[in-house]
Amino acid sequence: MPRNRCRAALGVMFIALILACLCVRAQESNTGSVSGAISDPRGASVPDAQLTLTNRLTGAVSRTTTSPAGTYTFRDLFPGEYVLHVEAKAFQPAELLIRIQAGTTATGDLRLQRLPEHPGPALVNTEIPAVQGAVAGTQMDRLPNNRNSLDLAYLQPGVQVFDGQTLSPSKSGFYSFSIEGRNGRTTRMQMDGVEVNDEAIGGTTQNVPLGAVQEIQIGQSTLLPSSGLSAEGLVNVVTNSGTNDLHGELLGNFRNKSVAVADFSGGRSDSFSREVFGGNGGGALKKDKLFFFVSGEYFKQDMVAPVLFNPPFSDLDSGYHSPFRDTQLEGRLDYRRSQQSRAFYRFTYDNLSDLNSFPENNFQVFRNGVHTPGHAIGFDFTRGKYTHSIRFGYNRYSNSVADAASGSSVFDPAPSIGLNFTGGSGFASGPNPFAPQNTIQRNEQVRYDGLGVVQAHTLRFGASVNRINALVLANYFGTAPQVGADTTAASSVVAAAGPFSGGTANPLNYPVRSIVLGNGLGCLTENSAFDSRCGGIAGTRLHAYLSDTWKVRSNLNVTLGLQYVRDTGRTDSDLGTVPCSAASSFGASAPCSGSDNLLNHFGQIPGLGNRVRQPDLNLAPQFGIVWDPGKAGKTVLRAGIGLYYDDTLFQNVLYDRASRRTQGAFHAESNDPCASHGVVIFPGNVPVSSINGLDIATQICGQPAGSVASAVADLQSAFQTASAALNSNSPNPNFVGQSLSSRALFAPNFQTPRTVQMNLGFHHQVGQNSVFGFEYLRSVGTHYLLGVDTNHVGDSSFLQTTDEPCLTSPTGICHVPRAALNAINATIAANPLSAGVCTPATSAGASSQSAVACYMATVPTATIADFAGHGLDSGAQFLGGLPASILGLDASHGAAFAGVNPLIGRSTVFFPAGRSLYSGLQFFLRTDVGSRVRGVNAMHLDLAYTHSSFRSNVAGGIGDQDLLPLAADFNHPTAFFGSASQDRKHLFSLATTFEVRRARLSLVGHFASPLPQTLFLPASNQPGEIFRTDATGDGAFGGQSDTGNNSFGDILPATNIGAFGRAVKAGDLNKTIQNYNSSSAGQPTPAGRALVSAGLLSTAQLQQLGATLPDVQSAPPNNVGLSWLRTFDIMLSFPLKVGDGISLEPRVSAFNVLNYANFDSPGMRLGGILNGLPGEANATTALSRTTTRILPRSGVFTQATPRQVELGIKITF
C-alpha cells in the first residue's frame, strides 16, 4: 500500500505540472507575453538576474528574476512597447526594447557583458584552509549521468563512488562514497545540514531525486569545526528552492537491450531494460515571500543478472531475474520574511526494492527494501553583526533484507542448505546467509550555527544534538545452515568419486569443510524499540564548536578552531564487570572463582575485564593559514592541520553486548562442528555429536555435501528448536560466563577513532573563468578497532604442558606436553591399521617419535590432519575456539595449542590500536572557454587528477577498518601495514560540455588504476592449519578466519597487505613465488618447530606428514593482475524552443561508449589466495578472467559496466 500511495502521489504531481505547463499557454487573446534567456558573453546562463519590464506608454512596471537556467517570462502584458532592464552581479546593466502584440509571445534574449572593473566572482577561496569542492545540480544535468545525485561526485579529485552493495546487502540500491581511499561507511552524509547516515552499518539512508539537487558539497580535509564527525570526509546535499517564476521540467529516460546495449561477460545476451520518469517544478505561492519546489523520480529496472563461475563450475553459468524499483520524492517550502530572515520546510521520501546477490555473482539472492521519510525545518536570520541558522531534522529509515532464493526459480542444487565455495570457483547457492535482517533508525536532530564578524575576526560557533534510536534484528544464517566447501586438489579427489552425476562439475559432490548454524533469533540487545521486545540500541550525539578566522592582514587569514564531540551508545560502558562467580557452573574447570574479574583471566592483559570506557572529553583543535600573495583574490597558498573524530557504528558494539549479558535470548551462530571434531554446542552447553544417527565428525564433515544436506538441515532445526526455548530470563548462551570465550568484545581502553588531517594547497585563477590548483593531503588515522585473541589460542608459544613428577628433572617436576601426547595416542587408537600395532607414546622424544613413525608406516595415507583431528592442533580448529570443558574434555585431552589459559577458549577483543595513512597529491582545472572555436558557442571543462596511497593494518576483502577487522598477526597487530580498501594510485576524471548551435555535446571520462590485493598462503580447509600456513605462529589465519576452516592462510611471507599490484606486479608474481618456495616452502611453521623443540616429532616427520609451509604454484604465462577502471560516457542533446517559455530537449546518452571491459570492482576482485585455482592471482589469464567483470548489479549503479545507450526527453518550462 505505501508503494501504491507513492506512485499515486507521483502521478498527481506529474499531472499538476502538466496542467501548470498548459496554463502558461492558456492566456487571453487580448494580451501577450515575453520570454527569453539571459546569458553571459559565452552563452552560459545567468541565474538570479534582476529584470524590470516597463511599459513606455503607461509606465507600468513588472519585476522578476531569472531561473537557475537563466530563463524568465512576463505574462498578461497589454500590447505596446516595453523596455526590459537587466541587472546582474558582475555584469554591466543592459536594456532591450520589446514590442508586445496580442496573442503572441515575444522573444527577449539578452547577452550581458561583464563589468571591466570587476573581473567576475572569485574562483579561489581566500578565507579558510579547508579542502572542499562542489558539483552543481545544473552541471550534473548537462552531463551523462544515471540520475543519482552522487553519480558524478568523482569529478572532484580524490573522490570515488561505487556500488553501496559492497558494504552490505542493506545498501543495495545506494551509492557509496569513498574519500581519501576509505570505504565510505562513515563518510558524514548530510542533506541541507541535517545528518542522514546509517548508524548501524554505514553509508546513507536515502536517495534524493537529482532534480531536487542544487549542488553536492564535498569536504575532504581540514574542514571547519562545524563539520563534526568528518574524519572520513563530509558530503552535503543542498536542495533547490522555488523562485518568483513558475518553472520546472518533465523527463523520461529509457534503456533496453535492443538499443545498442553490449553483451555481458561471457557473451551473455541477457535481457535488460531501464526506465526513469520524473519531474520537478517550483514557483511563488506569494510573490517575493513564499516559494515552493517539488521533485520526484521513479526508477524501474528489469534485467537478468548474469551469474558466472570459474572452473570447474563454468557449465553452471546462468542468471536470475533482478528487478529494481525506486520512488524518490522531495518537496520544499521557503518563506522569506525579509532580507534578514527566512525559513524553510523540506520533505523527502525514498522507497526502493531490489533483488540481488551478496557477495556479487552467485545464486544466494536476497530482496532489499527501504522506506525512508525525512523532514527538515530551517530558520536563518541576521541580527546586527551576527547571522544565525537553526535546523530541525527528523529522519526515519526502515530497511529489510529477506531471502529470495528459497522457493524461487533461482538455481539451487541443495535447497535445504546454503552452499558456499571459497578460494576460487565463486559458487554459492541457497538462502542468503545475511537474511533475514531488519533495521529501523530514527534521527531527531537540532542544530544551531552562528557567524559573526567583529572587527578583523570572523567567529563561527554552534552546537548540535542528535538523538538516534535504532532497532537492529539480524537473524544471520536463520533460513538455512551454511556449508563451506572448496575445489582444492584434495576436495576434487572426493568430488570425482562422488555419488552425484557430473563428478567435479557438480558442487554436490564436494566434501563438507565447515558448517555454520543460525539459532533463528534476531536480537542482539535486551532493549525494546519500535514495538520489538528486544534489539534496540540508542545514542545521543553532542557536538559543539568555536572557531575564529582572523584577518591578520588584508591578504592573510589565520583560522583557529576547537570542537567537542560526545557520542553515546557506541560502547557498553553502562554494563558492569563480570565476576568469576559467573563461571561457577564449570567447577574445577573455571578459570577463577569469587569476586575476581573473569575477563582478567582471558589472557595476560591486566585490567582486561574493567568497564569499557565512554569517551567524554573528545576535543579536536584545528589550525590553518590562508595567504593571498597578490592581494587580488586570484592566488592563494594555504596550509591546515586538524584533529577530526570518526563514527563508531552500532554494528560494532552489538555482539559485545550480547556477550556481557547474563540472561537473554540473543542471536548466535553455532561453533563449527567441522572445526570442533564433530561436536556442536547447543544452549545450556549441551554437546551434540550426531544427528539422525550420523556421527558429525566422520559421517557429515568430509562427506559430499549433497549426500548430507538433509542431515545438516536437521541439525540446524534441532539447534533452532533448542534456542527457541530461550527467553529474556534464560541463561544467555553467548555470555562469557557461559561460553568462556568471546568473538567481539571491546577492550576497556576504548577510544573514539580519529584522524589528524594536514594539507598544503595552491590555487590560482587565470582570467575570469579558469582556475587550477594543487593540494597535498595527508591523513593519519589512529585508534581504529583491531581484533586480537588475548588468549593466543593456537599460538606456537603456548604448547600446553602439565606439571608431572619425573626423575629427569632436578626439581622432580617435568613440563609434559600431555595434550599433544594424548592426541598422538588417540590418533593411533582410532585407526584400525595402527591400533594395537603401534606402541603408544609415553613421553616426548624417542617414544613419541617412534609412535608417529609407526603410524606413518602402517597408514600409507597419513597426514598431519589425522593427528590434528584428535587434538594435535590449535584450539581454534580442534575445539572451535571453545574451552575443552564445554566439549566434555579436560585440558589434557583438549588442544595441544590451547593458548595462555587452556581453561578458556578464543578471546577475540577489539582494541583501539588500528592505524591508517593517506597521502595524496591532487590537481584540478576548471574553465569556461568562450566561442574561440568556430561553431562552438561555449565550452566548460573539468579535469581532476589524484596520485595517492592509502594504507592500513587491515587485509582482505574491502579492507574494512570500520567494521571489526581482525589483525593479520595477533602477536604483532600493527606489524602488517600496506595498501588497503579503496586505494588507487591514480585517479583521473574529465568532464566537458560543448554548446553548439541547437545542440549540446557532453563527455565524461573516468580512469582509475587497479585496486590492491593481499597475497595469502593457500589453506587446506582442514584441521592442522597451524602446521601448514601459520607462518607467523600466532594462530590468526591471516586475520581472515576465527577457526581456520577456511581457504585463507597467513599473508605470503616477505609480502605485505595489498602487495599485489603494488610491490608485487603481475609480471613479478612468479619471482615472488619462487623466492618464497626457495626460502620458506617445506620448512616447519613456528607451531611445527614447537613440536620439534619439544621432541614430539622430528622435522622429517613433519615434512612427510605435509606439516610444513606449502609449495606455491607458479602463475601461468600471461597471468593478469587487477584491472584499471576505464570509461567514457557521452551525451548529445538538442534543446528546442517550442512555445511560450517551453523547451523540448531530446537526448541520447551512451555509457562506456567504447565498451571497455572493466574488471575488479571493490566487491568482486581477483582473489589473492595462491592455491592455483581459477579466479586467484596465480591461475588467471586474460582469457579465463570472466567472473570479476564489472556488470550492472545493485539498483542503477552502472559505472564502467558494458556499454548502455539511453534515449531521453526533457520538457522544460
DSSP-derived secondary structure for 312-327? TSGGG-EEEE--EEEE
Give the domain range for residue 1095: 802-906+1016-1054+1066-1104
Are 901 and 1020 in the same domain? yes
Q: Kindly list the distances between the CA atom of residue 961 and the CA atoms of 149, 161, 397, 950, 1169, in Å, as whole numbers in the listed order.
A: 26, 18, 24, 12, 21
Residues 61, 198: one domain? Answer: no
Does 794 map to a domain?
no
On whether residue 87 sits in a domain, the answer given is yes
Residues 136 and 45 in one domain: no
Instruction: Give bridge partners of residue 381 from the DSSP assignment.
Output: 341, 388
What pairing do the DSSP bridges indicate for beta strands 32-39 and 110-111?
A: parallel
Q: Do 888 and 1024 share a domain, yes or no?
A: yes
Q: Last residue of some domain: 197, 223, 239?
A: 239
User: What is the identity of the amino acid at 989?
Assistant: S
CA 368 to chain centre: 16
Q: Where does a domain end: 239, 263, 284?
A: 239
- What is the distance in angstroms between the CA of the first residue and the CA of the last residue of the chain? 33
Q: Measured between alpha carbons, how far is 109 from 100 in angstroms, rounded to an integer?
A: 14
Residues 216 and 97 in one domain: no
- Among 375, 328, 320, smallest CA distance to 347 is for 375
Number of domains the chain contains: 3
Half-sphere exposure of residue 803: CA atoms within 13 angstroms, side-chain side? 3
From the number of C-beta atoms within 10 Å of its C-beta (0-12, 13-18, 19+), residue 417 rates as buried
Pairing of strands 907-929, 742-746: parallel
What confidence score (pLDDT) does residue 26 get?
37
Instruction: Give 10-residue mean pLDDT values along the chain (1213 residues).
Output: 48 44 42 82 80 79 80 81 86 86 80 64 81 90 92 93 90 91 92 95 95 94 94 94 92 89 74 94 94 97 92 92 96 92 96 91 94 97 92 98 91 95 90 95 97 92 98 96 94 95 96 96 96 96 97 94 97 94 94 94 94 96 96 93 97 94 95 94 96 96 97 98 95 96 95 97 90 97 96 96 84 90 97 95 95 97 96 95 95 95 96 96 89 74 96 76 92 94 94 89 96 94 94 88 82 96 96 98 97 97 97 95 96 89 93 94 92 94 89 80 94 92
Same domain, 890 and 1028: yes
In a domain, 1010, yes or no: no
pLDDT at residue 16, rounded to an integer: 44
pLDDT value of position 118: 41
Per-residue pLDDT, 14: 45
The amino acid at residue 694 is L
The 10 Å Cβ neighbour count of residue 178 is 27
Instruction: Find all residues with CB under 8 Å of 1131, minimum gap 6, and list them.
Output: 143, 144, 1000, 1001, 1002, 1003, 1147, 1148, 1149, 1150
Give pLDDT, residue 122.
62
C-alpha cell at 402: 529477506
Among all chains, which residue has been given the C-alpha cell 553515546?
Answer: 568
690: left (phi over 0), alpha (psi -120 to 50) or beta: beta
Residues 182 and 84 in one domain: no
Instruction: Return the CATH number at 201.
Output: 2.170.130.10
Give whole-number Cα distances, 927 to 42, 200, 453, 532, 764, in Å.
Answer: 12, 41, 32, 56, 12
Q: Which three cell numbers stand for residue 775?
A: 593540494
- Residue linked to cell 600466532: 1034
Same domain, 198 and 235: yes
What type of residue sits at position 131?
V
Q: What is the pLDDT of residue 58?
A: 67
Angle at the Cα of 183 from the Cα atoms of 178 and 185, rounded to 5 degrees: 100
Residues 468, 460 contacting (CB under 8 angstroms) = no
Are 65 and 190 members of one domain? no
> Whole-angstrom Cα distance, residue 336 to residue 42?
33
Residue 620 CA to residue 754 CA, distance in Å, equals: 9
Burial of 419 (0-12, 13-18, 19+ CB in 10 A): buried
Residue 901 lies in a domain: yes
Q: Which residue has the cell 582486561?
A: 608
Q: Are the beta carbons of 472 and 655 closer than 8 angstroms?
A: no
Dist. CA 1071–CA 1059, nearest whole Å: 14
Domain annotation covers residue 1138: no
Exposure of 85 in the CB half-sphere (CA atoms within 13 A): 8
Backbone φ and ψ for 1127, nearest 5 degrees, come out as: -155, 140
pLDDT for the residue 1038: 78
User: Looking at residue 800, what is its pLDDT?
Assistant: 94
SS3 713: helix
Specify the pLDDT at position 932. Answer: 62
Give the number of other CB atoms < 10 A from CB of residue 285.
12
404, 390, 396, 341: which is closest to 370 by C-alpha? 396
Burial of 635-663, coded b for 16+ CB within 10 Å and e otherwise, reads: bbebbbbbbbbbbbbbbbbbbbbbbbbee
Q: Decide if 48 is inside a domain.
A: yes
Residue 542 placed within a domain: no
Region for 960 from its dihedrals, namely left if φ exceeds 0, alpha if ψ lies in -120 to 50, beta otherwise: beta
pTM: 0.89
Domain boundary among 216, 239, 262: 239
Classify residue 157 by its DSSP letter: T
172 lies in the same domain as 225:
yes
Residues 166 and 98 in one domain: no
Residue 665 placed within a domain: no
CATH number at residue 106: 2.60.40.10
Phi, psi dihedrals of residue 170, rounded to the nearest 5°: -70, -10
Torsion over CA of 950, 954, 955 and 961, rounded to 10 degrees?
-90
Determine the Cα angle at 75 with ends 74 and 76, to 5°.
140
Do 136 and 220 sit in the same domain of this protein?
A: yes
The predicted pLDDT at position 116 comes to 57
Please report how the helices 818-830 and 846-858 are oriented relative to each other, as an axis angle in degrees rounded to 10.
20
The amino acid at residue 553 is: R
Angle ∠(498,503,505) on CA atoms, nearest 5: 130
Assigned C-alpha cell, 490:
584434495
Count of beta carbons in the 10 Å neighbourhood of residue 880: 27
Question: Measured between alpha carbons, how far is 828 from 840 in angstroms, rounded to an integer?
Answer: 7
Q: Please tell me the distance from the alpha carbon of residue 338 to that of residue 250, in angstroms, as a whole number.
A: 32
Looking at residue 425, its amino acid is: S
